[in-house]
């Protein structure tokens, strides 16, 4: 969702040539190839095929395989996005091979060092030459950490570029909620996971859950409808017509805010505070009582309304290319 609009803008600018590298971290068809088809992303020039191994194994495999690509291509810049293992691995490889680095979605902080993504974000930001920020909080965080303002570019949210391009149909509020869960602190911790599932079972509405491939064994509740992972367009349509969404995903917090759909974040913090201050997002935590309480509030009609957020307007990719 972040690569598609950038590639589209790069194609319009004759000064640039690019090579797309797919690490293969997301190896499930519905979580990878279907996005390339739906978002009309060209086939990657390179696929590193790292697959499903431990985080350290993924990072080391990417670094070894990407180094060969960079030495062959000799690019003038490496662009990385987000905060996953691929982001960190590619960023480190660029720096170790002496190639300038740009980071899209810089400056986001949850201030929770237990999150693997938080470590990735901090390291990548501090070794990047160009930091493209989606919201004012990101700029503030980077300046507090001593990063020069000359490296920081306020470009807006590139995820919204893709969301607008997908042209979600006019909202028809359905009689269901949508759930997404994937973070290891929620699904790998049995106590927390069972606590969340227990709360979900007491919410008086059907819950549609596209289950992440990493979640294997769980006890479904009667109000749950389990579905396979969805493509981007299917998922946006599903949440756009839902009563509300429950998630531990950062991207979904942004999408629901832009679409003005109530969102309960099943975490104790967020790295996207603008979705709380200006958006529809509520930090519901992981405690059973609070999750149920916040869900019932929404069902009773007590919902937050989103306000416009600067540069969440579909032109973030244009600003990035202009800056480059």
**pLDDT, tens only, 248-271:** 999 999 999 999 999 999 999 999
Q: What is the mean pLDDT of residues 10-32?
A: 85
pTM, full prediction: 0.94
Q: What is the mean pLDDT of residues 66-76?
A: 98
Residue 286, pLDDT score: 97
Selection from 232, 222, 294 nearest residue 263 by Cα: 294
Q: What is the mean pLDDT of residues 230-259?
A: 95
In angstroms, the CA 166 to CA 45 distance is 25
Ranges of each domain in the chain:
3-157+312-323, 176-299
In angstroms, the CA 245 to CA 319 distance is 30
**pLDDT, tens only, 149-168:** 999 999 999 999 999 998 77
Categorise residue 156: left if φ over 0, alpha if ψ from -120 to 50, beta otherwise: left
Selection from 86, 81, 77, 91 nearest residue 127 by Cα: 91
DSSP line for 137-187? HHHHHHHHTT--GGGEEE---HHHHHHHHT-PPPP---SEEEEE---HHHH
Q: Which CATH class is domain 176-299?
A: alpha beta
Q: What is the mean pLDDT of residues 31-41?
A: 86
Q: What CATH architecture does domain 3-157+312-323 belong to?
A: 3-Layer(aba) Sandwich (3.40)
Q: What is the mean pLDDT of residues 299-322?
A: 96
Q: What is the set of active-site residues? A: 182
**pLDDT, tens only, 175-211:** 999 999 998 889 989 999 999 999 999 999 999 999 9
Q: How many CB atoms sit inside 10 A of residue 50's CB? A: 24
pLDDT grade for 31, boundaries at 50, 70 and 90: low
């Amino acid at each position: 969702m972040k690569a598609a609009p950038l590639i589209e803008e790069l194609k319009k600018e004759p000064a640039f040539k690019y090579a797309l590298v797919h690490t293969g971290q997301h190896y499930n068809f519905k979580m990878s190839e279907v996005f390339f088809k739906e978002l009309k992303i060209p086939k990657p020039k390179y696929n590193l095929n790292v697959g499903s191994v431990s985080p350290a194994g993924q990072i080391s495999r990417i670094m070894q395989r990407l180094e060969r690509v960079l030495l062959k291509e000799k690019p003038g810049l490496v662009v990385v996005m987000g905060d996953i293992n691929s982001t960190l691995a590619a960023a480190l490889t660029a720096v170790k091979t002496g190639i300038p680095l740009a980071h899209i979605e810089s400056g986001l902080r949850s201030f929770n060092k237990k999150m693997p993504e938080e470590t990735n974000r901090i390291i990548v930001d501090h070794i990047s030459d160009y930091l493209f920020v989606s919201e004012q909080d990101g700029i503030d965080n980077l300046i507090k950490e001593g990063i020069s303002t000359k490296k920081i570019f306020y470009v807006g949210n590139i995820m919204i570029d893709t969301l607008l391009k997908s042209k979600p149909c006019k909202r028809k509020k359905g009689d269901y909620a949508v759930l997404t869960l994937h973070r290891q602190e929620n699904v790998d911790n049995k106590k927390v996971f069972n606590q969340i599932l227990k709360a979900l079972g007491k919410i008086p509405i059907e819950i549609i859950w596209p289950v992440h491939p990493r979640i294997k064994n769980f006890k479904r509740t009667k109000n749950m409808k389990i579905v396979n992972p969805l493509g981007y367009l299917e998922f946006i349509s599903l949440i756009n017509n839902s009563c509300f969404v429950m998630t531990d995903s950062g991207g979904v917090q942004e999408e629901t805010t832009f679409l003005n759909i109530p969102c309960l974040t099943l975490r104790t913090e967020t790295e996207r505070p603008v979705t709380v201050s200006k958006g529809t997002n509520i930090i519901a935590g992981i405690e059973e009582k609070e999750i149920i309480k916040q869900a019932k509030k929404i069902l009773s009609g007590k919902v937050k309304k989103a306000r416009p957020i600067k540069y969440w307007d579909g032109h973030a990719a244009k600003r990035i290319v202009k800056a480059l």
